[in-house]
Structure 1
Amino acid sequence: MTQSTVHGTVADGFEPVHAEFAAFVAGERPDYEGQLCAYVHGRRVVDLWAGEGGDGDSLYGVLAATKGAAHLVVALLVQDGTLELDRKVTYYWPEFAAEGKGVLTLRELLAHRAGLVGTDSGFTLEELADDRAVAERLADQRPFWRPGAAFGYHALVIGALAGEVVRRATGRTVQDLYEERIRAPYGLDFHLGLPAAREPRFRPAQPMLPTPEQRELLDALLSPPHTLQAIAFNRHGAEPTDLATLPNHRVIRAKGPASVGGVASARGLAGLYAAMIGELAGRAPLLKPDTVAEFGQLHSVGHDLVARSHKAYGLGFQATADTWHPFLGAGAVGHSGAGGCQAFADPRSGLAYGYTRRRCAFPGGAAPENDRLARAVHTAALAR
């Protein structure tokens, strides 16, 4: 198999990004397939891809990067005054009060502080695809820590929890509001519910190929059936979830669950964050600077009980500079995906970044190459 060739374009001044991407691709497996896109102040400055069979229009399952799209909807509703961050969740969703959860505010829920990372018996695939089914199960679930007392990554459920608040407040789903207010007006190739007509552009996810040493680390983390990590990633029930290949199920792509069901290109990922912070395609920014700042402000930082490592979250979004790329400006917000994708906005430089790859990278989350690629893009953006 021959080595992948890099295709696409970069704007003047971003040639080092092309060189960095080409150098990375040259050192990867011959079957590497991925995309890199970036905007600066609403102008696309990087549009690159590599891989046999894929192109700039290919669509990939972006797993947790879906949370960025879902929580952009929440941010819009807060900006509109439809949702209030410091109201209790039960103001919108009375049934949520069961098992001592009535004290939790919407702000705390969005900051991964609910203690509600899964259920005792796990979810079926059909339930994971259906945000309302997940929310109904979680309403009755006893939290795994006292709500508000600590934080941990609500990997498969945070979108369903936030989405149920949205549905109770508006009568609409996150997916419907996202399509109406964000995806369709801006023409974004980032879907929460992939239409059947776009299925031919979808590239099925390829599973991780860990070394024996890496496999041992993964097994130690996820194999014990009743750890908090196993519960959060739905590894403990009758139908254990294979996160890496979850997007390959049509029911996930079709329903677009708000935690993990998004399908996108790198253009779609970067375009979402470009529209969030600045003008795009002749349209005003989706969010005002104060809203961006509030959702990017650190709300949970320190030891993540699920990840068992240092993490930093704003409201629904990851605090990207504190979690992944410390060279970014303060207040950078986004969300990575377990397959290796990365997406964020850096308001201080006007940069919006999107990266996808087909094969899941070890150890999950933003693939390691994002650090060198994002750094190259950020350096070029600042040089302008």
Structure 2
Amino acid sequence: MTEVHGTVAEGFEAVREEFAAVAEEAGTQLAAYVHDRRVVDLWTGEDVTGDTLTGIYSSTKGAASLVAALLTQDGVLDLDRPIVDCWPEFGAAGKDRITLRDVLSHRSGIIGVDDGLSADELADDAVIAQRLAAQAPHWRPGMAYGYGGFVTFAVVGEVIRRITGRTLQAHFTERVREPFDLDVYLGLPEDREDRYRTILASLATPEEQAAFWANVPGPNSLLGVAYGLNTDPPLDQVAFANTRRVRERGQASGGGVGSARGLAGMYAAAAFGLHGRDPLLTAATATEFATIHTIGGDLVRGASSAFGLGFEAKGQQYPFLSARAFGHAGSAGSEAFADPITGIAFGYTRRRFSFNWSYPEHDRLVAAVHRAAVSRRTGKAA
């Protein structure tokens, strides 16, 4: 069993035991809040502490979605206004009716570009947006959905920049990260680089990796376009977060950096409030962004999943959570969400990829936190 560091509140001892049973030795972190109180703060790994930062990949989308929700709440963004109203160039090739709601719910057909985006281009949302402006959708907007892994929030960010004159990253820093002193960054400052720990490749054998890649669609498939496989060389996802340019710019679809404390704290701040501050989101805004907009088979990834606006619908993934739970996982194995009904905010990071992007420990850890929270509230075993 892996050596575990950190603390849990009374009643959450079983979470520590579950974490020890499933934690990755190379480094993992787990944090959880019940409303505004942190009740779990654990970590493993020789070079990892509770303050360690690492790449959070698509958990970045949760941070970016929070910015979109705040600006919608403010009346700055209109989710149903055609994007061309503020970004005329985006209307090329049949995209003139696409709205932010389409993009946030992965129904726009905008998942990448036909001739590929290099790793260097994918580090910069402004470059991605420029390339996407001329790109035709990969299906008729609104008729189906497919996950836009590396490009979704470049579109959202360009709309925000054109309407407000400021970047999505700047809004996140000033509205979310700094007021709540959160270790989640869309743009990691140079003076915090010493806390970053690299993402590590899978330990899968060559035979296991060959068997996995033999079943992956080709580079010019929808999955290939969405995940940068239609470039030469194909995008190396492990190297992506370990590139200083990616961390510095904080690409809003997958370039974020954070800790489990930071992720759990971000969702607690969004749904419940922290440090005596009110929640970032009103109940009405949280409900709108958590409400399922997209469900069923994903044209890009093949599997069935469910999305609200930007956020994954976590109640569909973990049925013991409420229908209003919202959050986002990431490729290296991060997971984070809030459940406004049960009062849980959850954050998890890991440094080592799974070769098949499968992280069964999520189910066990989320269930353990939920059981402890329910037992503490009701005095009965969940």
TM-score > 0.5 by shorter chain? yes
Q: Using the TM superposition, give the Cα deviation of residue 214 of structure 1 relative to its aligned residue in structure 2, in angstroms.
A: 4.3
Cα distance in 2 for partners of 1:298, 1:375 equals: 22
Q: Using the TM superposition, give the Cα deviation of residue 209 of structure 1 relative to its aligned residue in structure 2, in angstroms.
A: 2.2
Question: In structure 2, the residue corresponding to 1:95 is in which secondary structure?
Answer: helix
Cα distance in 2 for partners of 1:187, 1:217 equals: 44
Q: Using the TM superposition, give the Cα deviation of residue 212 of structure 1 relative to its aligned residue in structure 2, in angstroms.
A: 5.3
Structure 2 counterpart of 1:100, from 94, 99, 102 = 94
Question: In structure 2, the residue corresponding to 1:204 is in which secondary structure?
Answer: coil
Q: Using the TM superposition, give the Cα deviation of residue 217 of structure 1 relative to its aligned residue in structure 2, in angstroms.
A: 4.8
Instruction: Specify the alignment match of 1:368 in structure 2.
Output: 360
- Are residues 221 and 258 of structure 1, via their aligned partners in 2, closer, same or farther at CA, if it must alter by over 3 Å? farther
Structure 2 counterpart of 1:298, from 269, 284, 292 = 292
Cα distance in 2 for partners of 1:118, 1:239 equals: 16
Q: Using the TM superposition, give the Cα deviation of residue 87 of structure 1 relative to its aligned residue in structure 2, in angstroms.
A: 1.0
What is the one-letter code of the residue matched to 1:231? V
Structure 1 counterpart of 2:261, from 264, 267, 282 = 267
Q: Using the TM superposition, give the Cα deviation of residue 123 of structure 1 relative to its aligned residue in structure 2, in angstroms.
A: 1.1
Instruction: Specify the alignment match of 1:206 in structure 2.
Output: 200
Asked if the contact 1:4/1:52 (under 8 Å) is kept, the reply is no
Q: Using the TM superposition, give the Cα deviation of residue 124 of structure 1 relative to its aligned residue in structure 2, in angstroms.
A: 1.8
Instruction: Specify the alignment match of 2:342 in structure 1.
Output: 349
Structure 1 counterpart of 2:46, from 32, 36, 52 = 52
Cα distance in 2 for partners of 1:94, 1:217 equals: 45
Question: In structure 1, the residue corresponding to 2:55 is in which secondary structure?
Answer: strand
**Runs of at least 5 residues in structure 2 that lack an aligned partner in the other structure:** 378-382
Cα distance in 2 for partners of 1:342, 1:154 equals: 18
Structure 1 counterpart of 2:218, from 201, 224, 235 = 224
Q: Does 1:190 align with 2:184?
A: yes
What is the one-letter code of the residue matched to 1:236? N
Matches within 5 A, 1:124-163: 124-163=118-157
What is the one-letter code of the residue matched to 1:131? D
What is the one-letter code of the residue matched to 1:371? D
Q: Does 1:120 align with 2:118?
A: no
Question: In structure 2, the residue corresponding to 1:185 is in which secondary structure?
Answer: helix
Cα displacement string for residues 6-36 of structure 1 (whole angstroms, at most 9, x for unaligned residues): 01000111111011112224xx5xx431000
- Are residues 362 and 254 of structure 1, via their aligned partners in 2, closer, same or farther at CA, if it must alter by over 3 Å? same
**Runs of at least 5 residues in structure 1 that lack an aligned partner in the other structure:** none
Q: Does 1:169 align with 2:163?
A: yes
Cα distance in 1 for partners of 2:204, 2:281 equals: 40
Q: What percentage of residue pairs aligned between the two structures are identical? A: 52
Question: In structure 2, the residue corresponding to 1:184 is in which secondary structure?
Answer: helix
Q: Does 1:34 align with 2:28?
A: yes
- What's the TM-score, normalizing by structure 2? 0.96
Instruction: Specify the alignment match of 1:285 in structure 2.
Output: 279
Tell me whether 231-240 or 153-162 shows the greater mean CA deviation.
Answer: 231-240
Cα displacement string for residues 342-376 of structure 1 (whole angstroms, at most 9, x for unaligned residues): 000111111000000110124226x2101100100
Q: Using the TM superposition, give the Cα deviation of residue 48 of structure 1 relative to its aligned residue in structure 2, in angstroms.
A: 0.3
Asked if the contact 1:244/1:338 (under 8 Å) is kept, the reply is no
Question: In structure 2, the residue corresponding to 1:87 is in which secondary structure?
Answer: coil
Instruction: Specify the alignment match of 2:370 in structure 1.
Output: 378
Q: Using the TM superposition, give the Cα deviation of residue 218 of structure 1 relative to its aligned residue in structure 2, in angstroms.
A: 3.2
- Are residues 330 and 213 of structure 1, via their aligned partners in 2, closer, same or farther at CA, if it must alter by over 3 Å? farther
Q: Using the TM superposition, give the Cα deviation of residue 222 of structure 1 relative to its aligned residue in structure 2, in angstroms.
A: 3.9
Cα distance in 1 for partners of 2:363, 2:205 equals: 21
Cα distance in 2 for partners of 1:93, 1:220 equals: 40
Q: Does 1:325 align with 2:323?
A: no
Question: In structure 2, the residue corresponding to 1:272 is in which secondary structure?
Answer: helix
Q: Using the TM superposition, give the Cα deviation of residue 144 of structure 1 relative to its aligned residue in structure 2, in angstroms.
A: 0.7
Question: In structure 2, the residue corresponding to 1:44 is in which secondary structure?
Answer: strand
Question: In structure 2, the residue corresponding to 1:380 is in which secondary structure?
Answer: helix
Q: Using the TM superposition, give the Cα deviation of residue 221 of structure 1 relative to its aligned residue in structure 2, in angstroms.
A: 4.5
Question: In structure 1, the residue corresponding to 2:170 is in which secondary structure?
Answer: helix
Structure 2 counterpart of 1:235, from 229, 232, 239 = 229
Q: Using the TM superposition, give the Cα deviation of residue 223 of structure 1 relative to its aligned residue in structure 2, in angstroms.
A: 6.1
Instruction: Specify the alignment match of 2:380 in structure 1.
Output: none
Question: In structure 2, the residue corresponding to 1:352 is in which secondary structure?
Answer: strand
Cα displacement string for residues 69-94 of structure 1 (whole angstroms, at most 9, x for unaligned residues): 01100000000000111111112221
How many residues end up aligned between the 2 structures? 376
- Are residues 76 and 228 of structure 1, via their aligned partners in 2, closer, same or farther at CA, if it must alter by over 3 Å? same
Asked if the contact 1:208/1:360 (under 8 Å) is kept, the reply is yes
Q: Does 1:7 align with 2:5?
A: yes
What is the one-letter code of the residue matched to 1:344? F
Question: In structure 2, the residue corresponding to 1:36 is in which secondary structure?
Answer: strand
Cα displacement string for residues 127-165 of structure 1 (whole angstroms, at most 9, x for unaligned residues): 111101100100100111011111000000011011111
Q: Using the TM superposition, give the Cα deviation of residue 38 of structure 1 relative to its aligned residue in structure 2, in angstroms.
A: 0.3
Asked if the contact 2:209/2:355 (under 8 Å) is kept, the reply is no
Tell me whether 119-128 or 209-218 shows the greater mean CA deviation.
Answer: 209-218
Asked if the contact 1:37/1:353 (under 8 Å) is kept, the reply is yes
What is the one-letter code of the residue matched to 2:288? E
Asked if the contact 2:217/2:223 (under 8 Å) is kept, the reply is no
- Are residues 245 and 218 of structure 1, via their aligned partners in 2, closer, same or farther at CA, if it must alter by over 3 Å? farther
What is the one-letter code of the residue matched to 1:340? G
Question: In structure 2, the residue corresponding to 1:83 is in which secondary structure?
Answer: coil
Asked if the contact 1:312/1:318 (under 8 Å) is kept, the reply is yes
Q: Using the TM superposition, give the Cα deviation of residue 216 of structure 1 relative to its aligned residue in structure 2, in angstroms.
A: 3.8
Tell me whether 43-52 or 125-134 shows the greater mean CA deviation.
Answer: 125-134
Question: What is the aligned-residue RMSD (CA, Å)?
Answer: 1.4
Instruction: Specify the alignment match of 1:111 in structure 2.
Output: 105
Asked if the contact 1:8/1:47 (under 8 Å) is kept, the reply is yes
